[in-house]
Amino acid sequence: MISYIYKIISVCLVFLILSTNKTVASNIDDNFDLWLVSFKEKALKKGISEKTLNLAFENVNFLEQVIKYDRKQPEFFEDTLTYVSKRANTIRVNKAQKLFKKNKKLFIEVENNFLVEKEILLALWGIETNFGKHVGKMDIISSLATLSFDKRRRDFFSSQLFILLKLIDDNIIDHSTLYGSWAGAYGNFQFMPSTIKSYAIDYDKNNVIELKTSLKDSLASAANYINKIGWKKGQPCFVRVKLTKDINKKYINSSARGISNRIKISKWKKKGIISYDGSEINYKLKAALIIPDGKPNTPAYLVFGNYEKILKWNRSLRFGISVCTLANKIKI
């Protein structure tokens, strides 16, 4: 009798949970639809045509999976060595070197024109999309709409969606090609709409910016971006180091938001900083100390100006270390 009662209670609980989930989902959909109406009104006031809005939002949906991805980014939960080893591995190095040989003339031309090393371009391409193999399959408009509706970074993603709609309106981007990452990034180098607007180039001069299908447009746009945000060709990214003395916490950066306390290498040496492999650190540049994992006895690095330019591409300490590590390993 008791077991029978337990079964009845269990069935009722399952039914209650399912009903609650359906109600929550229904409420989200209703609220999303209301938000969409309001967003369209704002877009019209910004000068985006009704034709573009109808076209862009014809099949737009709230994507619950996007919210899950946003809350569980690998930059936030993987330790530095794990994160870097997955992205700067031998397979990727070999693939980069093969792609360079296949497109040698183009890489050298782009490097000379934009003063950005081919190794950095290959590293960014490899880490962002595995050299174009994984450009993303999610509906970018739905992704950006979902993240604009969400409250965590509403202002940022709303601005990206407005820019994307304007790019469609101006016939710079074909809306039918807009499939990419869950965060709304697009093409070989995963450009956000604001990056497309500011830095994308029609390098092959066919009157269309093609960041998926044209390697010329993709490489030149990436190089133009890195160049314009201040990359200095020939300068280092980072040196992995050891701490032989206790360092005042004020000198340690564990967040990509606002790297501080850049001082000369000579001063770091006086504080007990030495290179991880025992070699001499001879750069006559100011550097900042970062410990991405934020814990004692975890990887530490002195980072230079070029490293901070990578953070403008993707504001993640581990991403920056991965890009520069892979570039150093490629060595063409």
For residue 102, tell me if it sits in a domain.
Answer: no
pLDDT digits (tens, 9 = 90+) for 246-279: 999 999 999 998 899 999 999 999 999 999 999 9
CA triplet 84, 90, 91: central angle to 5 degrees? 105
For residue 287, tell me if it sits in a domain.
Answer: yes
Report the distance separating Cα 177 and Cα 93, nearest Å: 29
Range with the lowest mean pLDDT among 20-29, 103-112, 120-129? 20-29
Spell out where the chain has E strands. 138-139, 179-180, 238-243, 252-253, 263-264, 273-275, 286-290, 300-303
Cα distances from 51 to residues 48, 85, 168, 169, 323, in angstroms, run 8, 47, 10, 8, 41
Report the distance separating Cα 316 and Cα 218, nearest Å: 22
For residue 279, tell me if it sits in a domain.
Answer: yes
**pLDDT above 70 for 6:** no
- Domain housing 282: 238-303
Report the distance separating Cα 56 and Cα 25, nearest Å: 23
Label residue 322 by pLDDT band (50, 70, 90): very high
* Total structural domains within the chain: 1
For residue 108, tell me if it sits in a domain.
Answer: no
Spell out where 149-260 has E strands. 179-180, 238-243, 252-253
For residue 267, tell me if it sits in a domain.
Answer: yes
Check the CA dihedral 106-109-112-114 and report its sign: negative
> For position 30, what pLDDT does the model report?
73
Q: Considering the entire predicted model, what is its pTM?
A: 0.88
pLDDT digits (tens, 9 = 90+) for 278-314: 999 999 999 999 999 999 999 999 999 999 999 999 9
Q: What is the overall mean pLDDT for the chain?
A: 91
For residue 30, tell me if it sits in a domain.
Answer: no
